[in-house]
Amino acid sequence: MAINDISLTSGMRNNLLSLQNTTTLINRTQTRLSTGKSVNTALDNPTNFFAAQTATARATDLSNRKDGMSEAVQMVSAANAGITGITSLIESAQGVAQAALATTSVTDRASYETTFNTLMTQITELASDSGYRGTNFLNSQNQTVEFAPATGGATLQIQGFDATATGLGLSTAGTGSGSIDWADSTTGTAGIQSSATQLENALNTLRSQSSTLSANLSVVTSRQTFTDNMVSTLQTGADNLTLADTNQEGANLLMLQTRQSLGITSLSLASQAAQAVLKLF
């Protein structure tokens, strides 16, 4: 042990060295700055000055995209509220079918039919009312969301589906054509059971469509955040750009490097697959 009693791991020593290194550098930079040398102004660096201007203009373009994204979020929210409502209507209809099964009276079953049909009508009305600004995902309408500054550069197509009673494959109850007869003395029970099956299928459809919508929603919201920050990247520091002192920047970067290497956050956020791939290099 020639130097001292505390032995350092090589990683620690490297950090320590660059820390000492950086401190010296920063001190000298500060000294040079305080003497007023080599500070750029907008006048002697027109390139940076105009880069800053362009950045501000591009921020405006992106703000328009942000509007489109929040509209899409509203549309998905409206559809989602509709799905929640329709789900509870279907659950009520399931209750009606259960009650109809529990009785054998033809008169009672006929009155349950009426209640059931009212619920079917409400489902269709609710589906038609779930639009936002003319786009209704529950009436099979689609919406294309634009993310990139250039039109068509990056888009997400959100697909709607038909959530009306007919679209969900629900037949009305009764004797008309295409209806299922609950009140028939011989085939009534079988009819109610097939209605119950239709209701279950409709619920499954709603669940899977709802999860597709929420996947789309999370894409849009994460893009929204990204675009928000893009705008602030463009806007903030436009002044800094015109006043950048590259010598100080070099020193700052060294300091940042040291700080990052002392941090314990691992950079690896890759999937198992990507990690396995990178291990081979």
Partner 1 sequence: MSLKLHLKPHEKIILGGAVIKCGNNPVNFFVENNSVAILRQKDIMTEAGATTPARRVYFVLQLMYIDNDSNNSKFFERFEGLEQEMITAAPSSRRYFVEIRDCITSGGLYRALKTARELIDYEEQLVEQANIRLPIKLPQVSGLTEAGSP
Q: Is 114 in the site for partner 1 (CB under 8 A)?
A: no
Least Å distance, CB 74 to partner 1, is 20
CB within 8 A of 195, min separation 6: which ones?
A: 97, 116, 170, 171, 173, 180, 182
Residue numbers 150-179 binding partner 1 by CB under 8 A: 150, 153-154
Q: Site map for partner 1, 178-197, x if CB under 8 A?
A: --------------------
**Phi, psi torsion values for 15, nearest 5 degrees:** -65, -45
From the CB of residue 154, how many other CB atoms can be counted at a distance below 10 Å? 12
Q: Is 217 in the site for partner 1 (CB under 8 A)?
A: no
From candidates 110, 149, 172, 205, binder to partner 1 by CB under 8 A: 149
146 bridge partner residues? 155
Q: Is 25 in the site for partner 1 (CB under 8 A)?
A: yes
| Tokens 């295409």, located at residue | 178
Least Å distance, CB 154 to partner 1, is 5
From candidates 110, 148, 196, 203, binder to partner 1 by CB under 8 A: 148
Distance, in Å, from the CA atom of 1 to the CA atom of 9, rounded to the nearest integer, reads 14
From candidates 9, 34, 177, 185, binder to partner 1 by CB under 8 A: 9
Distance, in Å, from the CA atom of 125 to the CA atom of 188, rounded to the nearest integer, reads 27
Stretch of 6-14, 70-78, 123-131, 183-191 contacting partner 1, by CB under 8 A: 6-14
Q: Is 28 in the site for partner 1 (CB under 8 A)?
A: yes
The DSSP element (H or E) to which 31 belongs, if any, is helix 10-34
Cα separations in angstroms, 206 against 49, 88, 121, 203: 54, 11, 17, 5
Spatial contact of 160 and 142, defined as CB atoms under 8 Å apart:
yes
Q: Is 21 in the site for partner 1 (CB under 8 A)?
A: yes
From the CB of residue 103, how many other CB atoms can be counted at a distance below 10 Å? 12
Q: Is 256 in the site for partner 1 (CB under 8 A)?
A: yes
Least Å distance, CB 54 to partner 1, is 9
From candidates 56, 144, 261, 262, binder to partner 1 by CB under 8 A: 261
Helices vs strands, H then E, count in the chain? 7, 2
Applying CB under 8 A, which residues contact partner 1?
1-3, 7-10, 13, 17, 20-21, 24-25, 28-29, 32, 48, 51, 55, 58, 147-150, 153-154, 218-219, 222-223, 225-227, 229-230, 233-234, 237, 240-241, 243-244, 246-257, 260-261, 266-271, 273-274, 277-278, 280-281
